Amino acid sequence: MPSKSCEQVIYGKILYGEELSLLQGYVCVKDGVIHEVVEEQTNSENILIPGFVNSHTHIGDSVCKDPCLGQCENFVVKPDLDTLVKPPDGLKHRILSETSFEHLVSSMRLSILDMLATGTTAFADFRESGVNGVAAIKEALADVNIRSRILGRPSGCNTSPDALESEIAILLSEADGLGMSGANDMDMAILEQASSLARKKHKIFAIHAAEKSRIDLENALSLDPGLLIHLTQADKTDLKAVSSASIPVAVCPRSNFITGVGMAPIQDMLSEGISVSVGTDNVMLNSVNMFSEMEFLSKVFKLDDRQVFKMCTLNGASNLGFTDIGPIKEGFGTNIVVLNGSSNNLQGIRDIIGGVVRRARPDDILSVIN
Instruction: Enumerate binding residues for Zn ion (CB under 5 A).
Output: 281
Closest CA to 250 of 317, 325, 324, 295: 317
The least distance separating Zn ion from the CB of residue 193, rounded to whole angstroms, comes to 22
Q: Which is nearer to Zn ion, 287 or 342 (CB)?
A: 287
The least distance separating Zn ion from the CB of residue 143, rounded to whole angstroms, comes to 27
Q: Which is nearer to Zn ion, 128 or 281 (CB)?
A: 281
The least distance separating Zn ion from the CB of residue 252, rounded to whole angstroms, comes to 7
Q: What is the DSSP string of 235-279?
A: -HHHHHHHHHTT--EEE-HHHHHHTT-----HHHHHHTT--EEE-
The least distance separating Zn ion from the CB of residue 284, rounded to whole angstroms, comes to 10
Helix (H) or strand (E) holding 352: helix 352-359
The least distance separating Zn ion from the CB of residue 94, rounded to whole angstroms, comes to 17
The least distance separating Zn ion from the CB of residue 326, rounded to whole angstroms, comes to 23
Q: Which is nearer to Zn ion, 272 or 281 (CB)?
A: 281
Does residue 18 contact residue 240 with C-beta atoms inside 8 Å? no
Beta strand residue intervals within the chain, DSSP E: 8-16, 21-30, 33-39, 46-50, 52-58, 70-73, 76-79, 120-127, 147-152, 177-180, 204-209, 227-230, 249-251, 276-278, 281-282, 336-340, 365-369
Phi, psi (deg, nearest 5) at residue 71: -75, 145
Residue nearest Zn ion, Cβ-based: 281
The least distance separating Zn ion from the CB of residue 59, rounded to whole angstroms, comes to 11
User: Within 10 Å of residue 142's Cβ, how many Cβ atoms?
Assistant: 9
Going 297 to 301 to 302 to 307, the CA torsion angle's sign is negative
Q: Which is nearer to Zn ion, 281 or 364 (CB)?
A: 281
Q: Which residue type is seen at 193?
A: Q
Q: Which is nearer to Zn ion, 125 or 272 (CB)?
A: 125
Q: Which residue type is seen at 26?
A: Y
Residues contacting residue 115 through CB under 8 Å, at least 6 positions apart: 54, 123, 146, 288
Q: Which is nearer to Zn ion, 116 or 209 (CB)?
A: 209
The least distance separating Zn ion from the CB of residue 23, rounded to whole angstroms, comes to 37
Q: Which residue type is seen at 242?
A: V
Q: Which is nearer to Zn ion, 47 or 249 (CB)?
A: 249
- The CA-to-CA distance between both ends of the chain, in Å, stands at 23
Q: Which is nearer to Zn ion, 281 or 305 (CB)?
A: 281
